[in-house]
Amino acid sequence: MSTAHHRGDAYSATCPCRGMLDLLADKWSALIIGALRSGPMRFGELRTRLDGISPKVLTATLRRLEEHGILTRTVYPAVPLHVEYALTDLGADASVPLDALRDWVEDNLPRFPH
């Protein structure tokens, strides 16, 4: 039985890594992952942190990230229900290059055409 790791090829139309690249390249996905890097957050905290995101888009993006193993959703039985979102190990790994990209964009903002 082989345990060799097979690297994907995002330039190939048939590579399944394209779905993950599409998810991670999404602005809201990248910002949610960055926000959760500091620790678990509730929906309202994320909505406040991500200025301009609608509840509908936040919900849809959180679901996609959870489906792809980037974050976990934990429901605590309280009144009202307490739900927290947290990065998985995969999500924490993804946050490193995404944070670097966000930092680069923020640092180079004056260089971009307006």
- In the block, tokens 């260089």 appear at 111
Q: Considering Cα of 8, then 38, then 47, then 114, what sign does the dihedral take? A: negative
Residue spans per domain, the chain: 17-107
Residue 69's region, left for phi above 0, alpha for psi from -120 to 50, else beta, is left
Identify the pLDDT of residue 31: 97
Sheet bearing 71-76, strands edge to edge: 41-42, 82-87, 71-76
pLDDT of the chain, 114 residues: tens digit per residue: 555 667 889 899 999 889 999 999 999 999 999 999 999 999 999 999 999 999 999 999 999 999 999 999 999 988 888 899 999 999 999 999 999 999 999 999 999 997
72 pairs with which residues across the strands?
86
The fold adopted by the segment(s) 17-107 is: Arc Repressor Mutant, subunit A (1.10.10)
Identify the pLDDT of residue 3: 56
| Distance from the Cα of residue 11 to its chain's centroid | 22
Residue 40 and residue 86 in contact, taking contact as beta carbons nearer than 8 Å: yes
pTM, rounded to two decimals: 0.88
